[in-house]
Amino acid sequence: MDLNTETLIDVTALKPLLGQTDLLLVDCRFDLMQPDAGRQAFEQLHLAGAVYADVNQDLSDQSLTGLGRHPLPTPAHFAETLSRLGFRPEQAVVVYDQGNGAYAARLWWMLRWIGHRQVAVLNGGFQAAQKAGLPMTSGAVSVVPSQVLDLRGTTSSVLDYLALDQARQDPSWLLIDARGAERYRGDVEPIDPVAGHIPGAINRPFTQNLDSEQRFLPPAELRMQFQTLLGARSAEQVVHQCGSGITACHNLLAMTHAGLVGSKLFAPSWSGWISDPSRPISRGD
C-alpha cells in the first residue's frame, strides 16, 4: 500500500484504506500523569481494526537506565514490540493518539529510524476520526504476532551524550527543546526531579506546530517558522529534545512535513541529561 505521504494523513484519505490487510492502524493514546488512561480509552472505544501501543511499555525500554524516563529501545527490543503488534514490513502504518500527535509522533519516528518509510500520523488523531464518523469498536484486541524482524536502527539519526555535549557547544548546530516555555525556563517542573534546560538549547514548544483544532499547520507555514530558527543551518544540523524523547519527535515530524529533512533526536532528553548530576543545567531564557 502506498500512503502517498511519509508524514501526515487526514481522515478523508484514511477512510478508504480502513480494513485493508496491508494497513496497520496503531492507537498511541497516552497520558503521562495517568499511564493506564490510554489503554483504558482504547478498550472503551477505538478505530476499528486498530491495535494499541503503550508509550511506557511498547515504545520505551524501562529496563535501560540512565537514558531518561522513556529509554529508546534497541532495534532488537523494538522488533519484538512490532511482532506483538502484528507488523509486517510490506504494510503501511497509520498511527494516532488523542488528537495533537504528541505520542503518535514517537512511533512515527521509531519506524523511520529502522527504515520503514510507509508511515504517517493521523492529523487531528482520534478526535478528528470520531468527528468524521470513521468506524469505531470497543474492547481489548487479540493480535496474532508476526515474525520477529532483524532490525537495524539508523545511527546517524540519533545522538548519544558525548555527541550531544559537543553539538550544544558548537554554534553550527541547533538544539531545540520541545517542552513548554515554563518548563524550559525552570519556572515549574511537574515531572522530573530537576528544573531547567540543557545549556545551549533554545525553546520551541511542540504545540506551536498546531492550529486551534490540534491539527498541524500547513507545510509552508511550518517551514517559514523553523527556517527562522535555523538561519543558515541545514536541517541536518538540528537536534531535537524534550523531557524524555516523546514530544521532540513532534518537532521532528513538523520539520519533515515542512520539507526540512534530516534533523536528529537526542532521545534521553532532559530526564536523561539530569541523570548525571555533574552535567551542567541552565534556567531562565
Catalytic residues: 242
Contact 143, 85 (CB under 8 A): yes
- Which of left, alpha, beta for 115 (phi over 0: left; psi -120 to 50: alpha)? left
User: CA angle, corner 104, sides to 100 and 110, nearest 5?
Assistant: 145
Query: Which residue from 18, 72, 75, 70 is spatially nearest to 47, judged by alpha carbons?
Result: 18
Contact 5, 120 (CB under 8 A): yes
Query: Which residue from 182, 191, 256, 250 is spatially nearest to 215, judged by alpha carbons?
Result: 250
Say which residues have a Cβ less than 8 Å from residue 270's Cβ, sequence separation at least 6.
68, 177, 179, 192, 197, 198, 241, 242, 243, 244
